[in-house]
């Protein structure tokens, strides 16, 4: 398994887990929005902050991954031309 396939596999599963987590947050948000309980508001705000942090991490992860693969492909291309 190459590095590119490995990072693609990890990124795919991370994105699936993030999508499941965001669907769960939508359900929790709708339950907390229609209830009048204050105790459900604090975990909701914490979950929203966590979701924002996970989204930023997801974007940063894909940026690092694309830069890493670009560097690897550039190195391989220059190594082929050096022969």
* pTM for the full predicted model: 0.39
Alpha-carbon distance of 48 to 26, in angstroms, equals 10
Domain count, the chain: 1
DSSP letter at 42 equals H
Closest CA to 47 of 68, 30, 65, 71: 30
Domain that holds residue 9: 3-82
Ramachandran region, residue 70 (left: φ > 0; alpha: ψ -120 to 50; beta: rest):
alpha
Q: Are 4 and 69 in contact (CB under 8 A)?
A: yes
pLDDT digits (tens, 9 = 90+) for 8-38: 777 777 777 777 777 777 777 777 666 666 5
Q: What is the mean pLDDT of residues 30-56?
A: 71
């Amino acid at each position: 398994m190459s590095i590119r396939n490995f990072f693609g596999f990890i990124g795919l599963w991370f994105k699936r887990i993030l999508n499941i987590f965001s669907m769960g947050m939508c359900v929790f948000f709708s339950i907390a929005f229609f209830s009048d309980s204050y105790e459900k508001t604090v975990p909701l705000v914490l979950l929203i902050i966590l979701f924002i942090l996970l989204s930023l991490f997801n974007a940063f992860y894909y940026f690092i991954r694309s830069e890493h693969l670009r560097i690897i492909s550039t190195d391989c291309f220059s190594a082929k031309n050096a022969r």
